[in-house]
Structure 1
Amino acid sequence: MINVSQFFRNIIAPGAFRIPKEVSVSGSIDATISGRIDGNVRGDVKTTGKLVISENASIRGHVYATDLVVYGKVYGDVHITNKAHISTKAYVKGDVNAIVLEIEEGAVIEGAIRKNVQPAGRSDHHPGETASATDPLHATATVAATPPPPPEEEQATSWF
């Protein structure tokens, strides 16, 4: 029996794109609307909306979206700027990065799982900025022309 809340969570807004299970796409998809993939995609999938990957779907490429629900297979890294839901029948072979991450029991993820992480390709991260401590990909210090001298107790001393 279908869970009613799960049914409403996966509804796509009118005007969203849909790739039926009979269709295979060879190449990247770049959309500014939400969508649902029931077929096969060989290439990256990028959307600024919600993306639903059905249990018949297979994506061989990286996935970038605001929100994501996965029932099918993804062979590539997943970068979500809001919420990702990985269902019990999902298979992801790659790293999963999301601000909010729900993983159902039985889901298979072969890769690193990072919560509260900004996607690697995010445009609002500027060089020279210190990134969040929870962002291992961008955890670097602020770039300075000359490094500050070490504190007094950390300066090198001579034993001789």
Structure 2
Amino acid sequence: MFSSERKKPKLQTIMETSTQQNIIAQGTKIVGDIESQGPFRIDGTVEGNVKTSGKIVVGKSGYIKGTLQGENADFEGEFSGKLILSGTLSLKATANIEGEVHINKLAVEPGATFNATCSMKGNVKSLTNESAKAQSVQSK
């Protein structure tokens, strides 16, 4: 009776949802760690660790306090903590970055605040693995 309808394979459904953008809206506060394969748009507040293989966009009202790991990031809002990117960090005029930054490339518009120790390496992915090893040694 319903044989004419075809269901999507589960693997395809998982692939589609992992590439959709995750949005943390203005007025939302998340305390804890977040991990995703898809890109992020953050207009709210995140206190904790954010890890993604996608792009991170932090809007003017966005604030992240903790560790952020990803590929590329565009900031209009604020960040405080440790930032690890395998690609480019782009800071708009309203951005405010404080802490420790490990990136491949940096683009800064006039007016942005960048108070951080910055390490620019060609291969930041290996740095991410080293950081994870160092954290596991420190926690023991």
Contact 2:81/2:98, CA 8 A, preserved across alignment: yes
One-letter amino acid matched to 1:46 = K
CA distances 1:102-160 after superposition (whole Å, capped 9, x unpaired): 111111111112222525753389x9xxxxxxxxxxxxxxxxxxxxxxxxxxxxxxxxx
Contact 1:40/1:58, CA 8 A, preserved across alignment: yes
User: Structure 1: any 5+ residue segments left out of the alignment?
Assistant: 1-13, 128-160
One-letter amino acid matched to 1:123 = N
CA RMSD in angstroms, aligned pairs only: 2.3
Measured after TM superposition, the shift of residue 16 of structure 1 is 1.0
One-letter amino acid matched to 1:114 = S
Is 2:37 aligned against 1:32? yes
Once residues 92 and 117 of structure 2 are traced to their aligned partners in structure 1, the CA distance between those partners, rounded to angstroms, is: 17
The answer for the alignment partner of 2:15 in structure 1 is none
User: Structure 2: any 5+ residue segments left out of the alignment?
Assistant: 1-18, 134-140
Where in structure 2 are the equivalents of 1:116-135 lying within 5 Å?
116=121, 118=124, 122-123=128-129
The answer for the alignment partner of 1:98 in structure 2 is 103
The answer for the alignment partner of 1:57 in structure 2 is 62
State the TM-score, normalizing by the size of structure 2. Answer: 0.73
Contact 1:97/1:119, CA 8 A, preserved across alignment: no
- The alpha-carbon distance between structure 1 residues 120 and 25, as it changes in their structure 2 partners (threshold 3 A), is farther
Question: Secondary structure of the equivalent of 1:21?
Answer: coil
Measured after TM superposition, the shift of residue 17 of structure 1 is 0.5
Q: Which has the higher helix share?
A: 2
**Count of residues in Structure 1 that have an aligned counterpart in Structure 2:** 114
| Structure possessing the higher relative contact order (Cα contacts under 8 Å, 6 or more residues apart) | 2
CA distances 1:5-59 after superposition (whole Å, capped 9, x unpaired): xxxxxxxxx7110000121101011111111001000101111000001110111
Question: Secondary structure of the equivalent of 1:97?
Answer: strand
The answer for the alignment partner of 1:48 in structure 2 is 53
Alignment partner of 2:116 out of 84, 106, 111 = 111
Question: Alignment identity in percent?
Answer: 23
Contact 2:103/2:121, CA 8 A, preserved across alignment: yes
Once residues 63 and 70 of structure 1 are traced to their aligned partners in structure 2, the CA distance between those partners, rounded to angstroms, is: 12
